[in-house]
Amino acid sequence: MPKRRRKAEVGVGVVPNEYVAAVRFDVKHAKCGKVTTLPGDVADTFARHPSSYTGLECKGCRKLVDLVNEEGERVFTWVADGRPVGVVGDADLEEAGREKPVEHKSNLSDGS
C-alpha cells in the first residue's frame, strides 16, 4: 500500500530560504466566504515559495480545494490584504524587502 501523504504535503516542492512575501495566516475562500487559518509551517512555506501548494483545506467547505478553479481564477485571498493566494506581486516583494527579478533573454540564435 502506498504511503499516504498528509494534506500539508500536497504539492510541496523545494522551499528556498528567502522570503518573497510576508508571512500571512488567514485566507478567505471566495465560494463559501469562510476564513481558514493556515498552520505556521504552511504559512511560512507560502511566504518563501508561494507556488508550492496546489490546494488548501477550506474549513467552511470541509474539503481540499484547488487554489485555481476551472476558469483559471484564484479562489482564495489573503484576509490581511485581499491579494490572491499563491501569487507574488510587486507589493509582496516590496514587503519582503526584495526586488522584482529581472527577466533574462538569451542571445543565442536558434540556428535559422
Range of the domain at 21: 7-95
| Burial category of 108 from C-beta neighbours within 10 Å (exposed 0-12, middle 13-18, buried 19 and up) | exposed
pLDDT tens string 69-97: 999 999 999 999 898 998 876 666 666 56
- Candidates 44, 47, 46, 39; CA nearest to 11 is 46
Please indicate, yes or no, if residue 38 is contained in any of the structural domains: yes
Q: What is the pLDDT along the chain (112 residues), one digit of tens a residue?
A: 444 444 444 444 444 567 778 889 999 999 999 999 999 999 998 888 888 889 999 999 999 999 999 999 999 999 998 989 988 766 666 665 655 444 434 444 455 4
Q: Is residue 104 part of a domain?
A: no
Number of domains in the chain: 1
Assigned domain for 2 exists:
no
* pTM confidence score: 0.68
Residue 101 lies in a domain: no
